[in-house]
Structures are given as C-alpha cells and as structure tokens.
Amino acid sequence: MANHKSSIKRIRSNAAKRLRNRYQAKTTRNAIKRLRSTTSKADAAPLLSKVVSMLDRLAKKNVIHKNKASNNKSKLTKFVNALS
C-alpha cells in the first residue's frame, strides 16, 4: 500500500485515466468495425473522417502508438476507396 499522499492520489488519478483511455480505445475499435461492415462508399466516407479523427486523438494522447494509428488510417482509407 502507498505511504505518501501524492502516491495515493497518483493511484486514484491513474485509475481514472485508465478507465477513460479504455473507453476511448474501445469506442474507436467499435467505430472501425462499423466502418469495415459498410458496403457503400456514400455511407463509409463520413464515417471514415470520424474514425481518422478518433485515431489521431488516441495517438496524440499516447493511448495507441502513432504508427498503429497511421497503419489503421491507411488500411481504412484503402478499404473505403475500394468500395463502389
């Protein structure tokens, strides 16, 4: 158990940040799955911009690695461009 006030607070704040990060990462993964399940380009295009924004935000906050965000954006863009 932590002995200092600052370490007790750090444990509390880390738990809160972990929950927020997990929520945002899970929401992004669900949005990616929703985008991958679309069949028309008209439906996928606006969804792609939202997913790219979410990925950029997660990478900026170091929730996911910047290269993972970049790879996801690239693959999703190729997927949307291949739709008819």
**In this structure, what CATH number is given to the domain that contains residue 31?**
1.20.58.110
Mean pLDDT rounded to a whole number for the chain = 96
Q: Which domain, by its residues, includes 67?
A: 5-82
Q: Which residue is it, tokens 């949307």?
A: 80
Count the domains in the chain. Answer: 1
CA distance 31 to 50: 9
pLDDT tens digits along 27-55: 999 999 999 999 999 999 999 999 999 99
**Cα–Cα distance list, 24 to 10, 39, 46, 62 (Å):** 21, 25, 19, 12
pTM listed for this prediction = 0.88
